[in-house]
Amino acid sequence: MEYTISKLAKLAGISSRTLRYYDEINLLKPSRINSSGYRIYGQKEIDRLQQILFLRELEVDLGTIIQIMNESSFDQFSALLDHQNKLIQKRARLDKLIETIDKTIAHQKGEIVMSNEEKFKAFKESLIAENEVKYGEEIREKYGDKTVDESNAKLRGMSKEDYAAMEKLGNEIFDLLPKAIATGDPTSEIAQELAEKHKEWLTFSWASYSKEAHKGLAEMYVADERFKAYYDKVAKGATEFLRDAIINYVDK
């Protein structure tokens, strides 16, 4: 079965403009162009679009999707199994958040008593699960299961005050990053303040801090497109600047 661009867009619930953009960036090419100049998509392209939408649902950026799907070793069946696992984990996170909301509503109605620890438990579990889905494989390969499990345990045991302080510090890092970049110097006072804040932010969840681990994480930020996209939201080259600031900080 073949589809024109408008019919495929309607089938997939996306816009024709999105499909044209996927064609432009070499993510999803039509199987052929007909005599009238219309893009025509076959079964192979339909299946590929499904994979793309799975990855978008998992909040993978387009640059990473292109890299993954254009690899010659890309295995569609293995990818489907991976999508299934990650969506199950995502559903579990949402279920925990819904459960917390239900308990909070019941607490406010006076039907139950909800402890402060219960109010924040689901948010911490959601953060841990989200990190596992997005970065778990790479982090565990680099630092080992024991280190990651200890970090997760520390986060689970964090008080609501520390959790709030960690989130506040994370926001401060994003606020300070563009100001540090504006200096153009990763060794500047403000850039080193940024690196110091990043260290403090890590210590909330890391079981123990080391300069080498901090430096290694900074290098991973640049090497992995998903980490890079997280900080490059601030400005192009932001991840490299943060990496350089951290390396200068730990090498002092």
Residues 170, 245, single domain; the answer is yes
Q: Percentage of the chain surpassing pLDDT 90? A: 45
- Does residue 225 contact residue 61 with C-beta atoms inside 8 Å? yes
**For the domain that residue 31 is a member of, what is the CATH number?**
1.10.1660.10
Mean pLDDT of the chain: 87
What is the arithmetic mean of pLDDT over 235-241? 93
What is the arithmetic mean of pLDDT over 151-168? 84
Residues 127, 115, single domain; the answer is yes
DSSP character at residue 15: -
More reliable by pLDDT, 197 or 75: 197
pLDDT in tens, 7-46: 999 999 999 999 999 999 999 999 999 999 999 999 999 9
Q: Which domain range does residue 188 map to?
A: 159-252
Taking the whole predicted model, whether its pTM rises above 0.75 is answered as no
Last residue of one domain, picked from the residues 69, 93, 117: 69
Residues 231, 194, single domain; the answer is yes
Residues 129, 195, single domain; the answer is no
Tell how strand 39-41 and strand 32-33 pair up: antiparallel
The total of structural domains in the chain comes to 3
What is the arithmetic mean of pLDDT over 64-69? 88
> For residues 51 and 56, what is the distance between their CA atoms, to the nearest angstrom?
9
What residue has token string 């970065």? 135
- Does residue 38 contact residue 49 with C-beta atoms inside 8 Å? no
pLDDT in tens, 171-204: 999 999 999 999 999 999 999 999 999 999 999 8
Where residue 135 falls among pLDDT bands split at 50, 70, 90? low
Last residue of one domain, picked from the residues 157, 180, 201: 157
> For residues 37 and 50, what is the distance between their CA atoms, to the nearest angstrom?
24
pLDDT for 76: 78
Residues 148, 93, single domain; the answer is yes
Residues 88, 139, single domain; the answer is yes
